[in-house]
Structure 1
Amino acid sequence: MAPYSTDRRTLLSGVAGTLATVSIAGCLGTDSSDDGGDDEPEPVVDEAESVEGDTDPDAWRDVEAIRFDGHVGGWVGVEPAAIDRVENPTLVLEMGREYELTWENMDGVHHNIAFWDGDREVVDGYSTDGNDVVGEREMLAFEATPEMATYRCEYQPEGQVGDVVVLEDADDTS
């Protein structure tokens, strides 16, 4: 009886190991539609069309309101036009200017939005409570400060994250 259990245990361990290896290899494999000539990153969220928005300060000059759709794979820009259908777009803000950022939950997963500094700390309490209700919106009024480095969901901080560029004034192009 003992040899049979050992062999069975060995067999089951081998099967489990093989399945784990195949699963991981499938996740790491390349997309069969990739022709190898385009190294530009693709959006993760189906609703997004790009991962590159317009970061020209002129495109952001009159912006007061920013709108996102929240998905577990990333934020998708809705407004202004510079970020429409862009996944995790870079925000170009003017230091000292006030903005309203509104986001809508699109998948029923708990999200919030917060501005973080370079040390991964929330800047000036600029964070929403969060929600997990499809169609529910949250609004965050904030003033752009030089400490702002990123905006992100604190529940999915690696997938829902975008850069923030804070200009000293509207004519600053750094």
Structure 2
Amino acid sequence: MTRENPISRRTTLKLTGAAAATALVAGCSDDGNGNGNGNGDDGVDGIAIDPGTDIRFDGQTAGWEGLEPSSIESEQNPTLVLEEGGEYTIGWTEGDGAFHNIEIRDDGDDVVDDLQTDETDDDEPDDQILEFEASAEMAQYVCEPHETTMVGDLQVE
């Protein structure tokens, strides 16, 4: 009967654990949402928005509901694909009466180029529209008071 070297077995287990950790960090785990990134979009790349487009939402605490353009109508927190250098406007014109704002954030969760509005509800006459030129650092549009539910991805290409 041959006896297995316990040192080589431990080495094999360590390498297997390292390989699993590497796969997890690389985003290769299946979290049940279809693409391993946890946003539940099942691999959908997003909705392309032409430069010059006015992007409007209904501000609902449960999420941004698309109003305009028609390609995002009734979509909740749609991923928007923007053209780098393109001019856009984005904001909310209707709401549920709760206090909301809109911000454009980068991957580090910081507001990009002061692109944010003050918190207001839909009964106040404040303008909740941002005008901007799309840049690669832009990653999300967010309502700060409801950042866990009112958040959508931006892809700038």
TM-score range, shorter chain: 0.5 to 0.7
Deviation at 1:106, TM superposition (A): 1.6
Correspondence for 2:140 among 136, 140, 150: 150
Match of 2:156 in 1: 166
Quick one: which amino acid aligns to residue 145 of structure 1? Answer: S
Residue 61 of structure 1: how far off its partner (Å): 3.2
Is 1:124 the counterpart of 2:113? The answer is yes
The aligned amino acid for 2:75 is V
Normalization by structure 1: what TM-score? 0.60
Residues 62 and 120 from structure 1, CA distance in 2 versus in 1: closer, same or farther, beyond 3 angstroms? closer
Aligned-pair Cα RMSD in Å: 2.6
Distance 1:86 1:54, change over 3 A: farther
Q: Is the 8 A contact 2:66 2:78 kept in 1?
A: yes
* Deviations 1:114-157 (CA, angstroms, capped at 9, x unpaired): 01101100011111112123475511111111001111101110
Compute the displacement of 1:108 (Å).
1.1
Alignment partners' CA distance in 2, 1:117 and 1:75: 18
* Matched-pair identity in %: 42
Instruction: Name the TM-score, length of structure 2 as normaliser.
Output: 0.66
Q: Distance in 1 between matches of 2:136 and 2:75?
A: 24
* Preserved CA contact (<8 Å) 1:104 1:135: no
Equivalent pairs counted in the alignment come to 118
Q: Match of 2:71, SS?
A: helix
The answer as to whether partners of 2:91 and 2:128 remain within 8 angstroms in 1 is yes
Question: Post-superposition, which runs of at least 4 consecutive aligned residues in structure 1 deviate over 2 A?
Answer: 51-57, 60-63, 133-137
Which one of 49, 73, 97 corresponds to residue 62 of structure 2? Answer: 73
- The unaligned stretches of length 5 or more in structure 1 are 1-38, 41-50, 168-174
